[in-house]
Structures are given as structure tokens and as C-alpha cells.
Chain A
């Protein structure tokens, strides 16, 4: 190598097989050194994690030195960042895989017909199901969506298309504040609201739960919709105005359809966020072992609360309660996935190509 390697001249680059070879080498070296030093006796499960960490550090160090010598400073930095970014992704995927595996493998034990056809009324120990909780979750989330989506989308339209002056600034600011509302505060709010309106005897019911979910859902819908409306090119609006289309029709016929895919994603993120909310429903909708179709009176069970109470209030036959808890968790995740799938399909069908 010549001493003068300006970035333009340094066209030399490492061969394609370098990366797999370096990775393989680093990890086998790490494994070998850990085995030789007898480190694996300390703690069985930590060992593998330690090998991965050491192997990764080795790979990064070797690559930095080699790449710097062959390819120059800029490309070696580029390789370092690639290594870091890939590691970040891998690191995040590991717990998420572990979580999915745990929920599926533990949840399957009780994912049977009884689970979907029975409530927990008069059930002690084995048996029983979560039908009351599933019905509750679907009803409450449905009501919350019906409340939140119109308000959310109209507010976003106000902010992006109409909002001028003081009120718009205030609303933008407080939507942000509302995004940060802790779920438990939303639950406390719904509880205290219904306590004042209906009195202590009837304060805890399904509608209160739905109201608390809406408080959490509205800002998510607004921000997602707002972001999407903002990136609709102004040229589209101006073209519609130039054709004499009124503003409100421009919004409905041009702006919203252009952003629809993004808005659908936003609404799904909002639903996904609230369908698993436990704390507000624990306070506002309460928990019960019995069926209740009526969101206007009496406590209403929901799936997340079912998962929590099954785990927290284990009866004599501990395993039966834990199994039900996992099965509830698995059901919840399946519902969320189906919702996501439906939204993907809808957004794909309705969004304009481009």
C-alpha cells in the first residue's frame, strides 16, 4: 500500500467473502477462548450470551483494523456503523422472538374450545374460559374506536388544513401533551368522571373503560393522521383548487385518499396500543368472572385484565390459573395480528399507487 491514500484513490476494497469469514472466525475464536478458560461453569445460560458479545467485539475490532489498512478511514467507519446498526436490530429481535416463543408455547396449553365458549363464572381450578373477556375487549375497543377515529381525523384535518393562529397552536401543543398521558391517568379520569356523573354505585362499567381508552387513542390517531396529511404534496391541493374544487371536497377527495394508507396504519397503531391496555380498564371497567354484554352497566371483563388477574390472583390450583393467563395473552396477540392483517389489506386496496 502506498502511504498516500486519498479517499478518491482508495478504490481498493475487501473481497465479498471477507464479512462471513471474519464473522465465523471471530465467533469460533470467542467460543474457543471461553471454553479453554473454563468460563462456562460459572453460569450456564450466560455463557452463550458472553460468547456472542465477545465474538461481536472481536469482529468489530478486526474489521476496523483490516478495513482501515486496506480501504482507508472512511470505509472503515462505514463498516463500523453497519456493524452497529445490524447489532441493534439483532439485539432488539432476540427478546421479541423469546417473547413470542414463550407466549405461543405456554398459551397453546389452554387454547381449546372451552376457553372460547365459557366464562369464569363459578369456576375454581381447572376449566373455564375467557369468552366474557373476549366479548368485553371487542365491545370496549369497538366503542373506543368509534369515538376516537372521527375526532382524531377531524382534528388532524383542522390542524393541517385549517389551523391558523392561537387555537391551532394550543391544540397542536396539547395533542402532544395528551400523547404523553399515562394510561393509568386515563383510567383514573374515566373513573372519577363516572363517579361524579353516575355516583359510586355505578361508576365502574364498560363505557367508562371505553372512554378511558378513547383518551389514549385520540392523540395517537391525530398525530399519525397529521404526519400523513403533512406529507401530501401541496401540488395536489393546488391542482384541485385550480380546477375549482372546493376546499372541503379537495380534502375528502384528494388529500385523504392520498394519505389513507398512512392513516389506516396510524389507526391500527392506535387500536393496537389500546387493545392491550390493562391499567385503565382495571380501574374504570373493573373485573368480573361473569358474562356482561351491556357496556352501560356493571363491571366488564377484558382480555388484558383477564391475563393480569389470572396471574395475580392465583387460586389453589396454580398451574390452571397461569395456563389461562398465557392462553389469554396468546388470544390477545392473535386478535392484534388479525386486526393488523385486515388493515394492511384495506390500506393496500384503497391507497393510490405511487
Chain B
């Protein structure tokens, strides 16, 4: 593209206005993010002062208060992502390469629609339908595989456990991940696929040789999108999880580490003073965690071959 950018075209008035506008829009992204960090820090600052008064809600100080939430946030999201990623790739492959041609567009449309189901609806469904349905399996897991630390402890009778939350989260991030991965899979050059098939490859070998290498950056960015949504997902967690202020790997009990986001949503409307500042502070922390994870993900993507259909 750089080669086609002649000096003459840059000097036109329309070009100048258009490129300035575009550049300004790009810069506004940076300004917004800086503003997010700035305003959150501004509000959170009073909670970090030594004479902060939390009204008896966090007597051990801000760090001890926030630790279980940080743990709960990361733990739930990682499990959700581990469940969702293989499923999302499978769904994307099914729609793009396995489903009968006639149906594939309709199936893609269904997935697109499902991506739009609001989190609060997932919350209602999670607590009223999924949790009761899963409780017997939790009992079974605990009785037969209780020696694995994840399944130990007293099984929750309501099903409002970390595993239920992780499953709800994975279902929530699944449609968006699948839609994104499917889009990328569908963009695989037809010639690559046909070349593989012409060489006698089975369908799976064609996918392994042509589709997956082409779609890998898409899969990674879908994982990022999914993780970002799982980390910050608020309402489904707030409604489904039975929270406690603990750090525990047990998935099936009713003593679960809450997540930062759900804790803010439950506490914020009723809060005030330094305690509200601390809640804003935990929000800032969540912001920084997601930022760090995105940076790592970005680094992983940049190490692999850069993908652009324009090449």
C-alpha cells in the first residue's frame, strides 16, 4: 500500500481532511483509555490513604479485601475459557466446513443471534434452570472423584457453585468466539482447500493443512475476546454464584471466591465514602488485570505470522 501512496494524492484537500479526521479518531482511543485510568485512580485514591475508613467492611486493609476477588475472577474465567475454546473451534468448523451447504448460513445466523443474548438473561437461566440440573452430577463427581481437589468439600445443594458459573460463562463467551472463528475459517482461500483435497487429503487433513494455519490468529483473538468478556462478566456471576470471602480451588461447594465485577455490582449501589472508593479501586485493579492479559495475548499474536487477507 505504501508504494501506491503518491505525493500528489496526499496534497489534495479532501485527502488531507479525511486523513486528519481518521488520525484524530485513532488518537481519541488513547485519550479515552487514559481517561478511564485517570478517573478511576482519582476516585480510588482516598481508599489507599492510611486513615481510610471502610465502615467495618474491610478491617484487614484493601489488599486482604481484594485478594479473594482477584483469585475468583481469574479462576472462574480460566476454567470458562478452557471449556469454551475447543467447543468454539468445533462449532466454527462445523458451520464452515461440515454442515450441509444449505444449512450452514442459517446455522451461522443462529450463532450470531445467540451472541446477543444479554448477560442478565444468562443469569436468570443459570440460576433457575442450569444450577438445579447440574446438582446431581456434582453429587456424583464429589462421591466418585472427590479425591481430586477441585471436587472435594461439601457439595452445594443449590448448584450455585464456581463450576456452574464457569459453565455459564463458557456458554456466554461461546457464541462470540465461534462467530469470530467461523468468519476467519470462511475466509480461508478456496484454492488452498481445493489443492489439499486434490492431493488426496481427507477433510480433516485439509482442515489441518489449510484452514487451521490460516485461522490461528483468528482463534487467538477470539480467545482474547472471550477471556475479556469472562473476566469482566458481572451480572451472570452476581446472580448465580453463592459468594464467600475465601480463596479456594473447590468447584462444587457453596463457599466460592466472588469475582471483582460481581462484587462491585452487588455492593456499589449501597456504598459510600471510602468504601465506595475502594470498590472503584478494585475496578481499577480489574482494568489493570485485563490490560496485562491483553498485553500477553497481543505479544503471542505478534510472534506468529501476521495475518491479513489483503496480502
Contact = CB atoms under 8 A, between A and B. Distances in A.
Interface in A62-119: 74-75, 77-78, 81-82, 84-89, 91-93, 95-96, 98-99, 102-103
B265 A230 contact: no
B286 A185 contact: yes
Interface in B117-171: 117-125, 128-130, 133, 136-137, 139-140, 171
A74 B202 contact: yes
Contacts of A185: 36, 40, 232, 283-284, 286-287, 290
Q: Which of A180, A232, A234, A336 has the most CB of B within 10 A?
A: A180
A151 interface: yes
B280 interface: yes
A168 B295 CA distance: 16
Given A158-B22, A195-B43, A304-B120, A88 B90 contact: yes
A189 B40 contact: yes
B265 A279 contact: yes
Contacts of A308: 120, 123, 235, 239
A102 B90 contact: no
A344 B114 CA distance: 15
Contacts of A238: 4
A82 B98 contact: yes
Given A82-B203, A247-B15, A181 B22 contact: no
Contacts of B87: 88, 91-92
Interface in A135-172: 150-151, 154-155, 157-159, 161-164, 167-168, 170-171
Contact of A181 (B1, B123, B205, B232): B232
Interface string A302-326: 0010011001100000000000011
A279 B116 contact: no
Given A88-B86, A269-B179, A102 B129 contact: yes
Interface string B86-110: 1101110111001100000001011
Contact of B121 (A171, A196, A231, A333): A333
A230 B95 CA distance: 23
Contact of A162 (B19, B116, B129): B19
A182 interface: yes
B35 interface: yes
A325 B127 CA distance: 14
A182 B308 contact: no
Given A95-B130, A234-B1, A332 B118 contact: yes
B14 A163 contact: no
A153 B29 CA distance: 12
Q: Which of B18, B86, B221, B231 has the most CB of A within 10 A?
A: B18
A231 B309 contact: yes
A237 B228 CA distance: 35
A174 B295 CA distance: 9
B256 interface: no
A332 B118 CA distance: 8
Contacts of A234: 1, 310
B234 A182 contact: yes
B94 A181 contact: no
A253 to B, nearest CB: 12
Interface string A271-307: 0110111110011000000000000000000001001
Given A92-B174, A158-B22, A311-B239, A179 B294 contact: yes
B43 A192 contact: yes
A312 to B, nearest CB: 8
B5 interface: yes
A241 B6 CA distance: 9
Nearest to A84: B90
Contacts of A248: 12, 14-15, 17-19
A150 B164 CA distance: 39
Contacts of A151: 25, 28
Contacts of B265: 184, 279, 282-283
Contacts of B117: 96, 99, 276, 333, 336
A189 B36 contact: yes
A309 to B, nearest CB: 10
B21 A154 contact: yes
A260 interface: no
B116 to A, nearest CB: 3
Given A75-B202, A181-B287, A336-B116, 5 more contacts: A222-B29, A231-B310, A247-B18, A273-B115, A283-B269
6 contacts: A92-B175, A151-B28, A159-B26, A193-B35, A248-B18, A337-B113
